[in-house]
Homo-oligomer: A and B are copies of this chain.
């Protein structure tokens, strides 16, 4: 893996792609990366643990890019592993810098000093959210109404239990877009779908939506795809072929009823 280095201010900036897209959707991938850069390094994890779903959402970045191509969407993704800082969690949430994830202890997070918590927040969390906020505020200033969709993947087996759901749509305060996506996906995707599955906002997984979409009254949704269904580049493209029409249909339905 190429070494990831911070900018001159010590920040790990997110990556924005397709900045001048004409579509309404901004796709967000907080768990795109399993990079473990200095000064934190691998947190004492094995190579296998660094490749596992605890470190990132395998397939989510590729799926997001494939969706962006089909929807002409702007994308933003984090460049550092969620185990160093999970950008979909507020700095006071246990999951922001977790000492344990599913079955795995995270040695480098067992004893984090307050200084290190503040440093990770400044280096990773704030640049990510400032960049996303800038994208959204600029669109709004130009008279556009961006739609915020976060893209995640989940492990097929969690705490030893298989998960039957293949595609979950999760809402924060406003369920309109998630319900419309779910209706389209149930009608046409052929996937086993669930609303607020395998997680819901009660599990603190909608932080990005809560921070950026809800205050501006923007339509928003969180997508969760079972990662065994997007395990190769070809599978990511095939999944985008199934899901992009569902998102497009949902946005059309929302425009017509809104």
Contact = CB atoms under 8 A, between A and B. Distances in A.
Contacts of A92: 140-141, 143, 145, 216
A121 B137 CA distance: 7
A130 to B, nearest CB: 5
A141 B214 contact: no
Interface in A202-247: 207, 210-211, 214-216
Contacts of A118: 138, 141-142
Nearest to A118: B141
A134 interface: yes
Contacts of A82: none
A216 to B, nearest CB: 6
Interface in A128-184: 129-130, 133-134, 137-138, 140-143, 145
Contacts of A121: 137-138, 140-141
B125 A143 contact: no
Interface of A: 90-92, 114, 117-118, 120-122, 125-126, 129-130, 133-134, 137-138, 140-143, 145, 207, 210-211, 214-216
